[in-house]
Amino acid sequence: MVSVGRVGRVMLLVTLALVAVSCQGTPTGPSLANMTISGLTWQPTMAVSGAAEVCCCHLRGQTTNQNTVSVHATLTIRTYKQQVELPSVVYIMKDIPAGGVRAFDIAGFVVPCNEITGWNYSLEVKGIAFPPL
């Protein structure tokens, strides 16, 4: 006959083993670093002669998701006029499928194109959780 003490010790060991195995961390998902931005061009709002000297300006281009999963991407553009940083513009692109290409036309630059003397951008990429949380 098996004593209750021995069964209790076996159950405790099984429980500890399960806890140890389940606490080894969450699996790492795929890399999201394989996004490209291309074809960036500044375009005046109006398509007339001398428009680059008149407010306002758009940034056009496209992004390509070369990751193996769908993503959301946030593009933040910083512009400068004579070394003074102008307000940043944030553009959100949702649900870009794996292998997908998304064209964009970003407005919100309230200076003429010819007054933008410098600019840069940053791209933040987030995987889409399925099912959505």
Residue 16 included in any domain: no
Is pLDDT at 123 greater than 90 in this prediction? yes
**Does residue 15 lie within any of the structural domains?**
no
pLDDT tens readout for residues 67-118: 999 999 999 999 999 989 999 999 999 999 999 999 999 998 988 888 999 9
Look up the CATH number of the domain holding residue 68: 2.60.40
Mind giving me the DSSP string for 18-45? HHHHHTS-PPP------EEEEEEEEEES
- pTM of this prediction exceeds 0.85: no
Identify the domain containing residue 50 by its residue range: 35-127
Q: How many domains does the chain have?
A: 1
CA–CA dist 91, 32 (Å, integer) = 18
Q: Is 51 among the domain residues? A: yes
pLDDT tens across 22-66, in order?
Answer: 656 666 667 788 899 999 999 988 777 777 777 889 999 999 999
Torsion angles phi and psi, residue 84, rounded to 5: -105, 125
Please indicate, yes or no, if residue 52 is contained in any of the structural domains.
yes
Has residue 17 been placed in a domain? Answer: no
